[in-house]
Structure 1
Amino acid sequence: MRRRVFLGLAAAMGALTGRASAAEAPGFTFPSIDGGELDSMAWRGQPVLVVNTASLCGFSGQLREMQSLHETYGPQGLVVLAVPSNDFNQELATGAEVREYCEMEYGIDLPMTDILPVARGEVHPFYAWVRQQTGFVPKWNFAKVLLGPDGQVIGTWNSFTRPGADSIRQGFAPHLRG
């Protein structure tokens, strides 16, 4: 009985403070690099790999791997989201330039946000939530956050972990269709 009361109070406090329970991750909207918005709630029920990118970074070859994951596992439900950021001074000046460069250099057609702050200053609410939930803050470009179908963080990785690394694949593989 005491445990049930405590859990009820904890749930009520979560609701009052605006914090989502473990089963209810919040949804986020991102400005799309193509205009309009990308809504993470549209991806509920699917694993989502979120990567902060930068066109002029030495790790930008990872964009090729991100595109490969998108093509290979996208039909099975994996969403790969590129989040261009200039937090580390290695991104082009505008979203249009980023989109053109990524299409021409890497053949990117996966979803991309407009240029967003992810680690410094007033970061996008998604990255503030990831920090609050896990303590993870991108230390450089090409940091990865994997969300499960419920929107909760499954894992985080630094720039040196490639998008197709076994640890990342093992995180999303159980959640793929077919």
Structure 2
Amino acid sequence: MLTGFLRDQYFTTAWFGLMAFVWFGWAQESPPRRWRVWLGVGSVLGVGLAVAFGVLTAANWGEPSALEGKYAWFGVLVAVEVIAAGAGCLVLARRGASSWMAWWVALVVAAHFLPLALLLNDIGVAVVGVVQLVALGAVVRRLRGTPTPSSQLAGPIMGATLLLSAAISAAIAAPGL
């Protein structure tokens, strides 16, 4: 996003594109009819960015990364994220609130962008996380008391913010291509 490390720029763009695809896909669990085409378009655009910048990441793997010397901490962060998401989903399932799982996972993912930004030395990643946290907080009232799966709102929030971030990152990387 906003890093001085070419490999990290390409990888973040590819990863955000792939994750946009994933979140738009989860949003297709129970979307309003008029959103279906847009969710599909977002998925396709996300995959396109993931493939294009995945190839660029592989071609530039020898370039330096902000994670050099920090890979163990990166592993710890990812492990904590996975455990928090899984544990929260287990609690939600046991309480009969599985419709909130997508929202919970989105909250964990958004929150993990804050320490990830420190590891990557990339303020742009933190901005994405903050925007997502605010947007996820804003939809709680709308989700509360409805049987609607939270993926209906959490998916598009995460997909759109990740796709927009990937597109911005791609634009920033473009002059170096």
TM-score in terms of structure 1 length: 0.32
TM-score in terms of structure 2 length: 0.33
Q: Tell me which protein shows more strand as a share of its residues.
A: 1
Q: Tell me which protein shows more helix as a share of its residues.
A: 2
Using CA pairs below 8 Å that are at least 6 residues apart, which structure has the higher relative contact order?
Answer: 2
